[in-house]
Chain A
Amino acid sequence: MNARIFFFVLVAGLMSLGIFQTVQRHVAFDIPWMPGETRTIWNIDAKINFNAHDNAIIASLTTPERQAGFTTISQNAASPGYGLSFLDDGLTPKAEWTIREAAGKQTLYYNIQVLEDPKSLDPQILEMPPLFDKEYSAAELAAGKTIIKDALKTSADAFSFARELLKQLNAETPNQNISLILTEKVSKTAILIALLNGADIHTKRIGALTLEDGRRRQHLQPLVEVFQEKEGVISSRLFDANTLESVNRDNLLLWDQSGKALLELTGGSDSRVSFSMIQQEQPALSALLQKSENEHLFNFSIHSLPVEDQSLFKGILMIPLGVLIVVMMRVLIGLKTSGTFMPVLIAMAFIQTSLITGLIGFILLVGIGLIIRSYLSHLNLLLVSRISTVIIMVILLIALFGVLSYKLGLTEGLKITFFPMIILSWTIERMSVLWEEEGAKEVFTQGGGSLLVAVLAYFAMSNDVTRHLMFNFIGLQFVVMSLVLLLGSYTGYRLLELRRFKPLADKE
């Protein structure tokens, strides 16, 4: 009984290991259950125009940092003649173009692909951005001080203070103090930052890009990030100086989080940065694979193999499924097949040839092979040379069919060469012996059984969903193994036995 318990523990262990690995891969690496799932990738171009003045130029463009909702897949830049490097000082990633000498109008392109990725999160804020000394005078004015004082009274923390300021700035009928400040030739964003800074609240200016498919010549939308420290944890919130509504971060890519400038240019003037973007739907898996190139998450999976070997494994990893079908058909249904796993091999040939071509080709080859083989049996040959003769015969037949179908313009017929010849020869040999020993009926039962199982295995093995699942979730191999083990200990009736023993059951 102990062996029994051990067996079920083993099966349960394998099964749960497989399921756990599968679910873990889905959750952790985000590999989709279905093959057709797509993910959105934004392909964004930044175009930089400026005038060069016949001297050395350094142009450095701030690029998007890690942030919630998006993952950078790749970046590149087109800029003839320029040296290019992607810099990341740990705070702000930058693309930097350099050239010894350039004159006239210059255009630089920077391209980035970002994946919409709900799993990506904002990095933790470790330190407050510094307060500025005196950049804008708004807060210095008496009006500004009054505004700050009013807002302080009606607020509790940095965020509510910022909201109070926004209320005043965006009031339909602004009060005197506000009107006074607004006359200055600065933007509301700058005023908001100045006022917050005046109240000793840490802020950062953010340049955000609204993502919309097919938009061109877009510019960054200025936002204000307000920081607040509570119980040692620094949190931040985004505000738009022109509206009271909170900032919706869907489709909003925070491009410039440097707090300084989007573009730093030395040696040129009249610079402009404009953005254009397109939305692409990519199969989720390839998107994830692109993402993982940076992350090395898949290192221990088949995805780390060269593509050519991967496609080989794609076929191999399907075999357990075919084997499972064979086991089910034999143990649960009781179908007779000629050669235990021959149906799996036939099914694999069907995958190469496509089902209908494969079926017709198989029946033709085996049929004609049987006729010729029946002649061979009159020669009383030894088994090895008989099978060898059948192999040569099968090759000749395949060549004949190939040429014939080509001449007739049926290119489908050429696929017949995909059949495994040794397997075909053994099939013919077995069927022939069976014919002599048990009669034609048994040949059709076993041949039909083999073909039926082969077709079922073909459907299981060629199905897009199963291919996707078996290839991407190695854990499923364990699940299949545990099922096969479980079937191996099944001692109940086979379906066809229910038919066979029916007269016995109906007795009395």
Chain B
Amino acid sequence: MFFASPFKLKSKGIMGMNQRNSGYIGRYNPRKLYPLVDNKLKTKIIAREANVTTPALLGVISIQAEVAGIEQYIKDTPGFVIKPAKGSGGKGILVITKVEKGRYYKPNGDEVSLDETKRHITDILAGLFSLGGSADVAVVEGLIQFDSAFDGFSFEGVPDVRVIVFKGFPVMAMMRLSTAVSDGKANLHQGAVGVGIDIATGAAINAVQFDKPVKYHPDTGKELALLQVPKWERLIYLASSCYEMSGMGYLGTDMVLDRDLGPMLLELNARPGLAIQIANGQGILPRLKLVESLGDDHNMSVEERIEFCKKHFSKK
């Protein structure tokens, strides 16, 4: 049969788009808090106040006159990332992985001159990459040194961990691995591999590409079941504390792992997708319902919430 029975889906607790929009995003995410999440610079600022680790902020360029001074931020770094604060879908992100005697190199080895870097920043300020073309600011961040635990699991891109945090409870997690098909991007609908991650251990449960189960990474051939996210405790703690920090009830947190600095928050998403259910091979609704059943005055600390989730949402 081409279609699954809706009753079967319901019995498995799978959440659909309509329910996500009206039952969770509409109900738990106050509209006025969206700018905190949609603007990466604002996210960074509140994260710093809440002691949530984020990639190092090297500098911010908000007016054209400052563009000329970019060199002071990037001259002595091992690598850096320039991104638009209000960019969407990974647009306008310039990644420099090697800085050598005033020359800058992209991950694929192409050289980028300082003038080209400046033009890129000008484009960002003009709003070329932001939604609706509104004026934007450029954020310069330190380069993330990927943890070697992910060697072979990702192809030309940033592997990140998406944790759905519902009212402060980390209810479901997945790892997104870029592939050749996804062109180095970590979006599942573009062909990235999604790996469901056990909330208690950080170990892989299940993996899918294009919504179909896969066992091995399509480019590197690495067995995906072996994936284990290191420093999982710290990662899930950071993700959970994003609730207090942002005020968003239904939140997607994108975490990355730095070799030296450990887990850090890359960005927040107020409208996290549904693919995480497919990656986990499980519906998210029973978990959301369980958290909802606790009510609002349980007064649980971040640690207690994580304990609760580990107890109830783990496979083992």
Partners in one complex: yes
A101 interfacial by beta-carbon distance below 8 Å:
no
Chain B residues whose CB sits within 8 angstroms of the CB of A504 once the complex forms: 4, 9, 12, 14, 277-278, 281-283
Q: Does B133 lie within 8 Å of A491, measured CB to CB? A: no
Say what secondary structure dominates the interface of chain B.
Answer: mixed
Per-residue CB contact flags for chain B residues 109-150 toward chain A (1 = under 8 Å, else 0) read 000000000000001001110001100000000000000000
Contact stretch, chosen from A54-62, A117-125, A401-409, A494-502:
A494-502
B299 interfacial by beta-carbon distance below 8 Å:
no
Q: Does B18 lie within 8 Å of A494, measured CB to CB? A: yes
- Given contacts A501-B277, A504-B277, are A490 and B18 in contact (CB under 8 A)? yes
**Residue of B16, B126, B127, B208 with most chain A CB atoms under a 10 A cut-off:** B16
Cα distance, A493 to B20, chains bound together (Å): 10
Chain B residues whose CB sits within 8 angstroms of the CB of A383 once the complex forms: 127, 132-133
Looking at the assembled complex, report how far the CB atom of B16 sits from the nearest CB atom of chain A, in whole angstroms: 4
In the complex, number of A-B residue pairs with CB atoms less than 8 Å apart: 83
Cα distance, A500 to B3, chains bound together (Å): 8
A183 interfacial by beta-carbon distance below 8 Å:
no
Q: Does B128 lie within 8 Å of A380, measured CB to CB? A: yes
Q: Does A494 lie within 8 Å of B16, measured CB to CB? A: yes
Chain B residues whose CB sits within 8 angstroms of the CB of A492 once the complex forms: 6, 16, 18-19
Looking at the assembled complex, report how far the CB atom of A427 sits from the nearest CB atom of chain B, in whole angstroms: 16
Q: Which of A437, A497, A507 contacts B89 (CB 8 A)?
A: A437
Chain A residues whose CB sits within 8 angstroms of the CB of B6 once the complex forms: 492-493, 498
Chain A residues whose CB sits within 8 angstroms of the CB of B208 once the complex forms: 503
Identity of the chain B residue whose Cβ is nearest the Cβ of A502 in the assembled complex: B4
**Residue of B2, B3, B128, B208 with most chain A CB atoms under a 10 A cut-off:** B3
Cα distance, A384 to B135, chains bound together (Å): 12
- Given contacts A382-B126, A437-B89, A493-B16, are A501 and B133 in contact (CB under 8 A)? no
Q: Does A380 lie within 8 Å of B123, measured CB to CB? A: yes
Please give the number of chain B residues whose Cβ is less than 8 angstroms from any Cβ of chain A in the complex. Answer: 35
Looking at the assembled complex, report how far the CB atom of B208 sits from the nearest CB atom of chain A, in whole angstroms: 8
Chain A residues whose CB sits within 8 angstroms of the CB of B2 once the complex forms: 499, 502
Identity of the chain A residue whose Cβ is nearest the Cβ of B17 in the assembled complex: A494
Q: Which of B23, B190, B282 contacts A438 (CB 8 A)?
A: B190
B211 interfacial by beta-carbon distance below 8 Å:
yes
A334 interfacial by beta-carbon distance below 8 Å:
yes
Per-residue CB contact flags for chain B residues 197-237 toward chain A (1 = under 8 Å, else 0) read 00000000000100111000000000000000000000000
B301 interfacial by beta-carbon distance below 8 Å:
no
Chain B residues whose CB sits within 8 angstroms of the CB of A489 once the complex forms: 22
Q: Does B127 lie within 8 Å of A505, measured CB to CB? A: no
A-B contact pairs, 13 of them (CB 8 A): A383-B133, A437-B89, A489-B22, A494-B16, A495-B3, A497-B17, A498-B3, A498-B4, A498-B5, A501-B9, A503-B208, A505-B9, A505-B14
